[in-house]
Amino acid sequence: MSDKAIVTENLSRRFGEILAVDQLSLTIAKGEVFGFLGPNGAGKTTTVRMLTALIAPSEGKAWVNGIALGRDDTAIRKSVGLLTETPGLYEQLSAARNLEIFAELYEVADVAGQVEKFLRMLGLWERRNDQAGTFSKGMRQKLAIARALLHEPAIVFLDEPTSGLDPASARLVRDFIKLLKAEGRTIVLCTHNLDEADQLCDRIGVFRTRMIEVGTPAELRRNLFGRRVAFHLAEPAEVYLPLVQSNPSVTEALAVENKLLLRLADPETENPGLVRALVQAGANVQFVGELRHSLEDVYLQLVKEDDNE
C-alpha cells in the first residue's frame, strides 16, 4: 500500500432511489494529481465526501493513506485536506480567525505560523483582519483553500477549486495547485474545466455515476481518436485521396478543400513516406501537422458513447 494514496474497491453510494456512485474501483498513486471529470450530478462531490469520511459508502471499500474507510475515520480526516464545494466560511469572523479555528481543530503545532504562511502564500495577508463576509468570491475561495492545507495534509481534495473565479484568480489558484504538486502532495481535483484538467492532472477519470474511462490526457485522446495528421496542399486535395487511401497504414482519410485529413497509427514513421508519395504525384505540400483534439472533444465523445449504451 505504501506507494498508493487512495484505493477504492467497488465503492458505491445511493441516496434512496438515486444511485450516485456505482462500483468505483480506482487506485491513485502518492504524489499524483487525479482529475474527476464529469457533468453535473455525476457523483464527484459524493465520491469526495466518501473518501474524506464525511459520508459512508453504501457498498464497497476504500483505503485512504493506507487507512480503511470506517475503521478510524478520525485518522483519515487528520491526514486529508478538503476544499468543499461551497467555501462555508465563518463570515462574521476575520480571515485570520477563520484559519486559526481550523488550525486548532487540526491540532497544528504552530498555529500562528501556519496561518501566516498560507495567508501570505495566497495573497490574503493584508486583509487578514477583515471579516470573511466582506471578501470577494475569489478571496473566499483562496481562504477556503488555505483552510484545507493548514495541517499540511498528504492528500488534498479540491472540489471545483476554480469555479466562478475570474481568469486571473483561476490562474493563481492553478499555479498554487502546481506548487502543491511540486511539494509531492496527492491531489484529487473535481472539475468541469477541461483545460484545467488537461494542464494540471497526471490522470483523468471521466466519470458519470460510474467510471467511464481513466487515463492520462494524452492516452484519452489517443485511445478515442487515434492520431490524426493534416496535410495542407496548395491545390484541392480531393484528387490525392485514392493515393493516400491505397497506403495500408492510413486507416481513415478525408479531403476537405485543400486539406487531407488522415488517421495514422504512427505518424512519425509514416509521414515522410506519405509526403514523398504526394510530392511525386505532383502535390504542392505546404504544411504537415498533427491535429490535437481538445480534451473537450474527448470528454463529449465519452459522455455521448455512454449515453448510447
Partner 1 sequence: MNKIRTIIRKEWAEVFRNKMVVSVIIFLPLLFTAMMLAFLYFTTTSSSSADALAMELPEQFAALCGEGEELADCVTSYIMTQFLVMYIFVPLIIPINIAAYSVVGEKTHKSLEPLLATPISTMELLLGKMLAAVIPAVLATWGGFLIFVAGTVIITGGFSLIGTLLNVGWLAAILVLGPLLSVLSVCFCLMVSSRVNDPRVAEQISSVIILPVMVLLFGQIIGFLVFSSALAWLLSLVALILDAIMMFLCVQLFARESILTRWK
Binding site for ligand ATP (CB under 6 A): 15, 18, 20, 38, 40-46, 85
Nearest of 143, 156, 129, 53 to residue 89 by alpha carbon:
143
Among 9, 25, 27, 101, binds partner 1 (CB under 8 A): 101
Q: Cα 18 vs. chain centroid, distance in angstroms?
A: 25
Q: Which does 74 bind (CB under 5 to 8 A by kind): ligand ATP, partner 1, Mg ion, none?
A: partner 1
Alpha-carbon gap, residue 214 to 206, rounded angstroms: 6
The footprint of Mg ion on residues 236-275 (CB under 5 A) is none
Closer Cβ to ligand ATP, 18 or 291, answer by number: 18
Phi first, then psi: give them for residue 102, nearest 5 degrees: -75, -35
Residues that contact Mg ion, how many (by CB under 5 A): 3
* Helix (H) or strand (E) run with residue 175 in it: helix 167-182
Q: If binding is defined by CB under 8 A, does position 140 make contact with partner 1?
A: no
Q: Which does 97 bind (CB under 5 to 8 A by kind): Mg ion, ligand ATP, partner 1, none?
A: partner 1
Q: Which does 38 bind (CB under 5 to 8 A by kind): partner 1, ligand ATP, Mg ion, none?
A: ligand ATP
Q: Hey, what's the torsion of the CAs at 302, 203, 55, 151, to 10 degrees? A: -150
Q: If binding is defined by CB under 5 A, does position 45 make contact with Mg ion?
A: yes
Min dist CB 265 to Mg ion, Å, is 38
Stretch that binds Mg ion, among 36-44, 135-143, 147-155, 201-209 (CB under 5 A): 36-44
Tracing cell 456512485 back to the chain, one arrives at: 21
Stretch that binds partner 1, among 46-54, 116-124, 193-201, 243-251 (CB under 8 A): 46-54
Q: If binding is defined by CB under 8 A, does position 186 make contact with partner 1?
A: no
Nearest of 236, 210, 227 to residue 306 by alpha carbon:
210
The secondary structure of residue 239, as a DSSP letter, is G
Contact 160, 192 (CB under 8 A): yes
The secondary structure of residue 266, as a DSSP letter, is -
Reduced to 3 states (helix: H, G, I; strand: E, B; else coil), residue 80 is: strand
Query: Which of 193-220 are b and which e, b meaning 16 or more Cβ less than 10 Å from the residue's Cβ?
Result: bbebbbebbebbbbbbbebbbbbebeeb
Closer Cβ to ligand ATP, 73 or 85, answer by number: 85
Q: If binding is defined by CB under 8 A, does position 108 make contact with partner 1?
A: no
Contact 214, 205 (CB under 8 A): yes
Stretch that binds partner 1, among 69-77, 177-185, 254-262, 263-271 (CB under 8 A): 69-77
Tracing cell 432511489 back to the chain, one arrives at: 17
Q: If binding is defined by CB under 8 A, does position 122 make contact with partner 1?
A: no
Closer Cβ to Mg ion, 44 or 77, answer by number: 44
Reduced to 3 states (helix: H, G, I; strand: E, B; else coil), residue 52 is: coil
Q: If binding is defined by CB under 8 A, does position 154 make contact with partner 1?
A: no
Residues that bind partner 1 (CB under 8 A): 15, 49, 52, 54-56, 74-75, 77-78, 80, 82, 84, 86, 88-93, 97, 101-102, 104-107, 144, 147-148
